[in-house]
Amino acid sequence: MSQKQEEENPAEETGEEKQDTQEKEGILPERAEEAKLKAKYPSLGQKPGGSDFLMKRLQKGQKYFDSGDYNMAKAKMKNKQLPSAGPDKSLVTGDHIPTPQDLPQRKSSLVTSKLAGGQVE
């Protein structure tokens, strides 16, 4: 019977379809969010929980130094001051030359935690 109705009233049919989509989005807000994300980043891979995420997680803390890049950049900067790390310390390639100031400093004195009422530095 519903089929007959659809044939007779094509305008109403689109209305019903629209309602269906809205219901679906209501049932699955995740899908709507997924659509939003894919619209922003169309190149996002199909395997979200797969290797890319996990490899990034496993490689946390990795810092790379290439002596060839270092020497080439140094040669370029003969007359200029060596650039320092800047805020983004996670990328260490040719342009950024790690300096002794950039390397993690060993704490020279004990700074007490503020939870224990320590002084503000």
Partner 1 sequence: QSGAFGGGCMSGGGNDIQWCFSQVKGAVDDDVAEADIISTVEFNHSGELLATGDKGGRVVIFQQEQENKIQSHSRGEYNVYSTFQSHEPEFDYLKSLEIEEKINKIRWLPQKNAAQFLLSTNDKTIKLWKISERDKRPEGYNLKEEDGRYRDPTTVTTLRVPVFRPMDLMVEASPRRIFANAHTYHINSISINSDYETYLSADDLRINLWHLEITDRSFNIVDIKPANMEELTEVITAAEFHPNSCNTFVYSSSKGTIRLCDMRASALCDRHSKLFEEPEDPSNRSFFSEIISSISDVKFSHSGRYMMTRDYLSVKIWDLNMENRPVETYQVHEYLRSKLCSLYENDCIFDKFECCWNGSDSVVMTGSYNNFFRMFDRNTKRDITLEASRENNKPRTVLKPRKVCASGKRKKDEISVDSLDFNKKILHTAWHPKENIIAVATTNNLYIFQDKVN
Contacts with partner 1, residue ranges (CB under 8 A): 28-34, 36-38, 40, 44, 48-51, 53-55, 57-58, 60-65, 103-107, 110-118, 120-121
Q: Please, what is the minimum distance in Å from the beta carbon of residue 66 to partner 1? A: 10
AA identity, residue 86: G
Q: Which is nearer to partner 1, 65 or 76 (CB)?
A: 65
Q: Which is nearer to partner 1, 10 or 42 (CB)?
A: 42
Q: What are the φ/ψ torsions at residue 54 (nearest 5 degrees)? A: -65, -40
Residue 42 tokens read as: 């169309």
Q: Please, what is the minimum distance in Å from the beta carbon of residue 110 to partner 1? A: 6
Q: Please, what is the minimum distance in Å from the beta carbon of residue 72 to partner 1? A: 19
Whether 119 and 91 have beta carbons less than 8 Å apart is answered as no
Name every residue whose Cβ is closer than 8 Å to that of residue 102 and which is 6 or more positions away in sequence. 84, 85, 89
